[in-house]
């Protein structure tokens, strides 16, 4: 989507220059900004697919018994909702879109270290996504295993599990390649004066995330290959009747999939750390603690996977250790929250859309984190494990956290690339609708879980009916807000008010170059002489 404009953007902008023409100028571009936009529209497209599936699930659950679909369709839909949202939206989401768009500019580089590998990552991602989509309409139909693909069920079902798993496998390679690219870029391509202590916190969070991608994703790859081997070759690794162990699959799956949660949330924390200082006109409080806590979360978060298995029959000693480590991870997250709130102290706060989404991130993420404590404690986890409580908790962290941070980033950074902005008032109404709808939708699930309603339930007992109806109503309010957000944002980017190079008064490098950025980002290599949140003398926009 290009800004429709009477006066074209400056000739040097990345929108017009390249050797190629038409669609190939995008599909084969090695420019990090073009690849960033390719990623943005791909992941956001899949996000909208996931939203529609989620809304359908909620309609089915608004009353007991059959509402709009049968159990097989329901089981397939919650599986596809999970696979699309996790593997096609939120894992590649931040790194691929805003990581690509912003990170090289923020460190003063012309591009990432390996531009062609970067393009290849996107192609791998689209290839994997195409295979996953194909699996829905061929063979035995869409997989019905849940996004966790637990064995032995996933080796017995007649649905198209193997192909879907193969698609996820391919997407994993895209993630590894991006991780390698970003680690190298951040180490090697920082401009003169861009010391580690002056890196914007968004870059710090991408750096921590990239290491998780490199180290954890290969294990997912191996695990997925083993599922396919189990289905096609009948290896029996996870089949107890042939000496296998179903719990081994769960260990392998969560060794990746728990760190993957940090791939989803760490960049979101980076976005928040970049936005709050700008709208409070104050340096971030505790820069070093926030940067360090990202690394601490990435490291300790790789050792807590067993907390997904407290009821599985794993040994009690393992539960002791995993419960302890899970509580350890809570500490750096708490430190971040305290530092964000302290940044507001004696600032000059302006509540524009990026800031509203960021502040509500703090609240929703806190609720997600605090409900996580219930699941970290061994005794209480037993009751809420595999219930709607977990569904509510996860959505508070990943949708209320990462999702709201993604919306904040869209309002904050997209105008930089389009040269035009959204209208403020509809954006605030959209935020309010989403915030209210979100809490109705997911807090109902938390209560339902405490009452004992298991998750992945097509049908439920009458005692769970009122809260399920309430939750569904919440989903409609949230969806209404989302539609308003989209219409307002994209209409603004096409034909809204023009913005200059620094509409928010930010102090990081992306605000020092023209809007939209030129292809090479910087006319001459920048020399950095101040920190990323040094607003002294910057004035208020």
Partner 1 sequence: MDPNLYTTTRAVDPIFMLIFGISLVLLMGITATMVGFVIRYRRSRAPEPTSQVASNIWLEIVWTALPTIIVMGMFYYGWAGYLTLRNVPKDALEVTATARMWSWSFAYANGKTSPKLYVPVGKPVLVHLVSEDVIHGFYVPAFRVKRDVVPGMKNHVWFVADKPGSSDLFCSVYCGLGHSAMVSTVEAVPEAEFQSWLSHVEGEEKQGEGRELLEKNGCLGCHSLDGSRKVGPTFKGIWGRNVTVVTGGVERTITVDEAYVKRSIREPAADVVKGYPSVMPPYPALSDKDIEEIVDFFKELK
Find the binding residues for partner 1 in span 93-152 (CB under 8 A): 144-146, 150, 152
160 interacts with partner 1 by CB under 8 A? no
Distance CA 209, CA 274 (A): 16
Residues 391-430 that bind partner 1 (CB under 8 A): none
Q: How many CB atoms lie within 10 A of CB 494?
A: 14
Write the binding mask 66 to 85 for partner 1: x where contact by CB under 8 A, - elsewhere.
Answer: x----xx--x----------
366 interacts with partner 1 by CB under 8 A? yes
Residues 242-281 that bind partner 1 (CB under 8 A): 245-247, 280-281
26 interacts with partner 1 by CB under 8 A? no
348 interacts with partner 1 by CB under 8 A? yes
15 interacts with partner 1 by CB under 8 A? no
529 interacts with partner 1 by CB under 8 A? no
284 interacts with partner 1 by CB under 8 A? yes
* Closest CB to partner 1 among residues 38, 528: 528
Could you tell me which stretch among 31-39, 451-459, 500-508, 513-521 binds partner 1 (CB under 8 A)? 451-459
451 interacts with partner 1 by CB under 8 A? yes
Report the candidate in 234, 122, 237, 238 with the shortest Cα–Cα distance to residue 170.
122
Number of residues that bind partner 1 (CB under 8 A): 87
Residues 6+ apart with CB under 8 A from 320: 378
456 interacts with partner 1 by CB under 8 A? yes
286 interacts with partner 1 by CB under 8 A? yes
Helix axes of 353-376 and 424-451: crossing angle, nearest 10 degrees: 10
Instruction: Out of 347, 426, 505, 514, point to the residue binding partner 1 (CB under 8 A).
Output: 347
236 interacts with partner 1 by CB under 8 A? no
**Contact indicator for 321, 306 with CB cutoff of 8 Å:** yes
* Closest CB to partner 1 among residues 383, 491: 383
We find the least distance from the C-beta atom of residue 240 to partner 1, in angstroms, to be 2
Could you tell me which stretch among 131-139, 314-322, 414-422, 426-434 binds partner 1 (CB under 8 A)? 314-322
Residues 460-479 that bind partner 1 (CB under 8 A): 460-461
Instruction: Out of 459, 494, 498, 505, point to the residue binding partner 1 (CB under 8 A).
Output: 459
380 interacts with partner 1 by CB under 8 A? yes
* Closest CB to partner 1 among residues 62, 180: 62
**Contact indicator for 106, 508 with CB cutoff of 8 Å:** yes
**Contact indicator for 492, 421 with CB cutoff of 8 Å:** yes
Residues 6+ apart with CB under 8 A from 509: 105, 106, 107, 108, 191, 526, 528
What is the biggest distance separating any 2 CA atoms in the chain, rounded to whole angstroms?
Answer: 72
Distance CA 217, CA 220 (A): 5
C-alpha separations of 505 from 84, 96, 536 in Å? 36, 25, 11
Sign of the dihedral through C-alpha 187, 193, 198, 203? negative
Report the candidate in 47, 30, 48, 26 with the shortest Cα–Cα distance to residue 38.
26
């Amino acid at each position: 989507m290009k800004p429709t404009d009477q006066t074209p953007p400056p000739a040097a902008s990345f929108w017009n220059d390249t050797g190629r023409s038409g669609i190939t100028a995008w599909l084969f571009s090695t420019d990090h900004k073009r690849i960033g936009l390719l990623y943005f529209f791909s992941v956001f497209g899949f996000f909208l697919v996931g939203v529609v599936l989620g809304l359908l699930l909620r309609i089915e659950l608004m009353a007991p018994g059959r509402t709009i679909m049968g159990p097989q369709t329901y089981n397939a839909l919650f599986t596809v909702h999970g696979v699309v949202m996790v593997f096609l939206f939120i894992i590649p989401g931040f790194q691929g879109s805003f990581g690509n768009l912003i990170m090289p500019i923020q460190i003063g580089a012309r591009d990432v270290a390996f531009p062609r590998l970067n393009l290849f990552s996107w192609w791998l991602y689209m290839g994997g996504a195409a295979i996953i989509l194909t699996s829905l309409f061929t063979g035995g139909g869409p997989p019905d295993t849940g996004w966790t693909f637990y064995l032995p069920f996933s080796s017995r079902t007649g649905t198209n599990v193997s192909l879907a798993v193969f698609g996820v496998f391919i997407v994993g390679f895209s993630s590894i390649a991006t991780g390698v690219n970003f680690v190298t870029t951040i180490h090697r391509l920082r401009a003169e004066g861009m010391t580690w202590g002056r890196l914007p916190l968004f870059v710090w969070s991408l750096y921590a995330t990239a290491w998780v991608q490199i180290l954890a994703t290969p294990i997912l790859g191996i695990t997925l290959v083993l599922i396919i081997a189990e289905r096609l070759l009948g290896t029996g690794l996870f089949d107890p009747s042939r000496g296998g162990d179903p719990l081994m699959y769960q260990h392998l799956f969560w060794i990746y999939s728990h760190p993957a949660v940090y791939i989803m949330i760490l960049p979101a924390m980076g976005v928040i750390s970049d936005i709050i200082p700008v709208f409070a006109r104050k340096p971030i409080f505790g820069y070093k603690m926030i940067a360090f806590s990202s690394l601490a979360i990435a490291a300790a978060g790789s050792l807590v996977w067993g907390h997904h298995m407290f009821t599985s029959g794993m040994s009690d000693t393992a539960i002791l250790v995993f419960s302890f480590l899970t509580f350890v991870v809570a500490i750096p997250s708490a430190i971040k929250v305290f530092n964000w709130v302290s940044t507001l102290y004696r600032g000059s706060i302006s509540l524009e859309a990026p800031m509203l989404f960021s502040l509500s991130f703090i609240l929703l993420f806190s609720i997600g984190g605090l409900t996580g404590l219930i699941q970290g404690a061994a005794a209480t986890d037993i009751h809420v494990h595999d219930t709607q409580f977990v569904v509510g908790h996860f959505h508070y962290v990943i949708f209320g956290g990462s999702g709201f941070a993604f919306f904040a980033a869209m309002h904050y950074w997209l105008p930089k690339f389009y040269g035009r902005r959204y209208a403020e008032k509809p954006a605030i109404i959209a935020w309010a609708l989403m915030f209210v709808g979100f809490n109705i939708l997911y807090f109902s699930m938390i209560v339902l879980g405490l009452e004992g309603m298991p998750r992945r339930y097509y049908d439920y007992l009458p005692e769970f009916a009122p809260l399920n109806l309430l939750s569904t109503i919440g989903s409609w309010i949230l969806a209404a807000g989302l539609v308003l957000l989209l219409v307002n944002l994209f209409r603004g980017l096409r034909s809204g008010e023009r913005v200059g190079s620094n509409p928010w008064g930010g102090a990081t490098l992306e605000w020092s170059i023209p809007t939209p950025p030129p292809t090479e980002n910087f006319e001459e290599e920048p020399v950095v002489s101040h920190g990323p949140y040094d607003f002294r003398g910057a004035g208020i926009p």
